[in-house]
Structure 1
């Protein structure tokens, strides 16, 4: 059985800004070769993020089973659409059908063997060993969340912050929320002796309750919005 054969629909015009994004952007069949070309520190970052994904997938249950059950229905819908469409829309649906056909193979022994042969566990030594200097604490509710770091220096504009807890390059540097907020010895939130530098930390904290459940807490949301508008007028 061949690895995933569906070509990418969109080409990313920009190169990934960090090693983890580079690893994710690579095909599964190409990741082993890429991993072997990385530096020791870059390999640690990749292993840390793979452990994070594995933990979060486990916390969300057997998601593959749900996708497989839905696949038959989606495949029928797709084939009906192909019969009724033409031109670019038909090309899109043909591509979607290829993906669904691939998903249909998930439950087969042949696909299971393929997955094992290209899985990170087959070529990354020490993947199961957590690194206390990098890994988050999975017992905390903010496990796996990253914040973004943007740094500016007078006379230079945007620069990459050289810090052991920050990964990637300007303007897409990331840092673990746990490390940023609860690592008092190393957090870049500490006052810097470099007075010509400005650091901006972006922590994603959107409350999606109203978006997921329309009508819920509408009055509360309106009250908050009105309060914010009044504060804006004061300033």
Structure 2
């Protein structure tokens, strides 16, 4: 029997926690290193983003600065590509890689890239599910057999959050692939060391998405095991 104060299924999360910690360390160290390596083209992240957007006829997408570090993102609702100051003004391999990656998302949006559309479609349910899934599940667990409906509802809601994380992987990998191809083909990065450096930055960032997906999948497995244990009581 599983008691509220003793839950042996927590051990399932250890691999994902280790991966998440490693991913954060890897991202910071890789970004710090390549943010000090200047690209031979000498252009800034903002200039690269603007040029690549214009080349893809996305003149309506605005490139602007956003506060913080590693807070770069593309907002499809407002068509704004936001870069942290370090990447907006920076001429490093890291800055150009990040700027091109976010441009990749803008291009995905314009081309109606199917995985991105799916992710955007389930985002409201996934966000709602990730907020309510655990409270509903553990309230149901507390009530025992009488709470099975709440447990099942919690698992269903969290499944949407897991699906969101899974779909995020091809979206991010595709954006990184587009970024590297554009940077090389347009001459912003030289083939060899510069492209390899930008690839390392984007690969390190991808680890964070892998870690988040692993954590979500193991959390879902944990809920299913707890639900099964309650049924057997």
Question: Which structure has the highest helix share of the two?
Answer: 2
Which category of TM-score, normalised to the shorter sequence, fits these structures?
A: under 0.3
Question: TM-score under structure 1 normalisation?
Answer: 0.27
Question: TM-score under structure 2 normalisation?
Answer: 0.27
Which is bigger in relative contact order (C-alpha 8 A, separation at least 6)? 2
